[in-house]
Chain A
Amino acid sequence: MEIWGLPARDILKYISSGEISAIEVLESFLGAISEIDTEINAFIEVLEPMARMDASRVDAQLREGNSPGPLAGLPVAIKDNICVKGAGCTCGSKILENWISPYDAATAKRLREQGAVIIGKTNMDEFAMGSSTETSAFGVTRNPWDLERVPGGSSGGSAAAVAAGMAPLALGTDTGGSIRQPASFTGICGLKPTYGLVSRFGATAYASSLDTVGSMAETVWDCALLLEAIAGHDPLDSTSAAGEPVAYTKGLQGDVAGLRVGVPKELLEGVSAPVKQLFHNTLGTMEHMGMTVEEMSIPSIAHAVEAYYVVAAAEASSNLSRFDGVRFGRRAAVDTLDEMYTRSRGEGLGKEVIKRIILGTFVLDAGNIDRYYRRAAQVRTLIKREFEKTFERFQVIVSPASPDVAFKIGEKIHDPLTMYLSDLITIPVNMAGLCALSMPMGFVDCEGSSLPCGLQIIGKPFDEQTVLRVGHYLEQEIGLGIRKEVCAMRRKLTPVRECELVD
């Protein structure tokens, strides 16, 4: 039996029934990585020895009759801006190329404590600044559905790893859509949790008031399982919310009939015709399931992108000041202190990162701070208020997860404004601190390729349960068709291996 490429839920069943060991599961995925990842480049580092030790420990616990935890033996890929003790954490940047993390991020620690096996660190846009994984200093990641196309970003490595079957679960980070857009481009599920639900301790800060760590997986159930494992208060993150743990997988079964679903017309502007068609078909399915769908308006969304790029750049310019060659990372070989700062940063940071630091420094400059930064924060209040009002009438808000399917490598990298505007649909969720799931809703034929396309389901703060439940129900309707396409795609990537089709 081939294990690689199976959803986490099925792997867990095989491990708990004793049909297969954690080390056999790991070897199956490591084999897939060695065959597939030369073409995809999803991983910056595969943690073979560490993962083998973790898997062996899980097997030993099982043999002794002890429970290794709810993620027993499940391989998890981790985006390379989340620290794993003893592993590199490049953030996709030359400036951290040789840095080894001396500690575990809160999320990595929780995964290990619950029996997960950390299989590797995944590629990403440098410091999570990008929507295509093309700004990584370690080469672009290719989309498994069409190797000439991007997997989205910034969590493109995690998305491609899950889509290609090289890991059943992955962690990503989402500051303006970096989990949801790559999930959409690669045909997987990605959950951006409410700000404060998952600890950011040990996740490299890009824009601290927007950053979140979330789950990526092939199915909604798997996404819920991973969220369950990483959510919860952490005293080491001062923005971590207090609250009792939620059993998200158990709550998937509740009813969805009667739910009111809002469709903001602002989130459909600029969406391509075929994606819009798929979206309307999906709305039809939701109505068939008993939900009430209504088009409505959230006017302030129209200014979300501008406000986001001011806030995110301002926070980035402050957060990334720590990369100065003093305490960690790359240092330029020069004779004076000032030169050490400027050359270490100039040589170590990539162009996109420098652009955003300069923009952030500009909007925080004494003469500009009120004109730009404070005003953007005021616009953010308007966005937040309008969403709060919207959630008085609707339980969830839906839209496509991206205006179009995956674009070609190199197509947008020299046109930053177009690239930024492609995040229009996902950014408002971060500005308002909401939760949102991206899940596959179908495929669009594009220049000879069948490319996946995602649905975004947005929920009010800390209502991940409703968002996941709606996603799970929809998956029952459309999931099997998508799984068949996924298996066909993986067979093309590695024809010698079989891909199990499960229901």
Chain B
Amino acid sequence: MEIDVKRIAHLARIDLDPQDENTLATELELILARINKLLEVDVEGVPPTFALGTQMMEPADDVPHESLCRELVMECAPSVHEGYFKVPRESQGV
């Protein structure tokens, strides 16, 4: 199986220049060849482990607690307008 780097980069919303695309495709092919060894393992009937320690988790108390103050959060943003995050228009001319 090959990786269509251009399509996957679009899904991941990452702008790549064509030269980087080629280098990345070569490196990823090598890595994927190694990862394909997983297909040789017999996992019939084995449940997946997606997370660890779930049996030790405690539900949080259902009470509100102090969160970060809005002004502080907004100070971290690249652009704000009247207390909201500001971003460019979805497309030019709209």
Contacts and interface: CB of A to CB of B under 8 A. Distances in A.
Interface of A: 99-100, 102-103, 195-196, 209, 233, 235, 238-243, 300, 303, 305-307, 309-310, 317, 321, 324-331, 334-343, 345-347, 349, 351, 354-355, 357-359, 361-363, 365, 368, 371-372, 374-382, 384, 416-417, 420, 433, 461
A337 B60 contact: no
Interface of B: 1, 3, 5, 8-16, 20, 24, 27-28, 30-32, 34-35, 37-39, 41, 43, 46-53, 56-58, 60-61, 68, 72-73, 75-79, 85, 87-92
5 contacts: A99-B76, A196-B52, A306-B35, A362-B8, A381-B46
B91 A359 contact: no
Contact of A382 (B27, B43, B51): B43
B31 A416 contact: yes
A335 B89 contact: yes
Contacts of A345: 12-15
Contacts of A355: 24, 27-28
Contacts of B60: 235, 238
A100 B27 contact: no
A77 to B, nearest CB: 24
Contacts of A309: 31, 34-35
Nearest to A370: B48
A349 B20 CA distance: 13
Given A362-B8, A375-B38, A102 B79 contact: no
Contacts of A324: 13
A195 B89 contact: no
Contact of B52 (A209, A363, A375): A209
Contact of A336 (B31, B35, B92): B92
B13 A342 contact: yes
B85 A327 contact: yes
Contact of B53 (A239, A337, A378): A239
B46 A372 contact: no
Given A305-B34, A336-B91, A358-B14, 16 more contacts: A209-B51, A239-B52, A306-B37, A309-B35, A326-B78, A340-B88, A343-B15, A346-B16, A354-B16, A358-B24, A359-B31, A361-B12, A372-B38, A377-B48, A378-B43, A382-B41
A347 B9 contact: no
Closest 8 CB pairs of A and B: A346-B15, A377-B48, A378-B43, A331-B78, A433-B52, A342-B15, A196-B53, A241-B56
B57 A351 contact: no
Contacts, number: 180
Task: Determine chain B's interface SS by DSSP, over half rule.
Answer: loop
A430 B49 CA distance: 12
A298 B9 CA distance: 37
Which of B9, B10, B16, B78 has its CB near the most chain A CB atoms (within 10 A)? B78
B41 A303 contact: yes
Contacts of B52: 195-196, 209, 239, 433
A374 B56 contact: no
Nearest to A305: B34
A328 B73 CA distance: 9
Contacts of A374: 48
Contacts of A306: 34-35, 37-38
B77 A378 contact: no
Contact of A354 (B24, B50, B58): B24
Contacts of A331: 78-79
Contacts of A416: 27, 30-31
A461 B14 CA distance: 38
A317 B8 CA distance: 11
Given A102-B76, A327-B85, A196 B56 contact: yes
Contact of B38 (A242, A338, A346, A379): A379
A102 B78 contact: no
A241 B12 contact: no
B38 A310 contact: yes
Given A238-B60, A340-B88, A384-B49, A361 B11 contact: yes
Given A196-B53, A329-B78, A376 B38 contact: yes
Given A310-B38, A375-B38, A380-B48, A341 B88 contact: no
B8 A377 contact: no
A357 B94 CA distance: 31
A303 B48 contact: no
B49 to A, nearest CB: 4
A351 B46 CA distance: 35
A22 to B, nearest CB: 29
Contacts of A433: 52-53
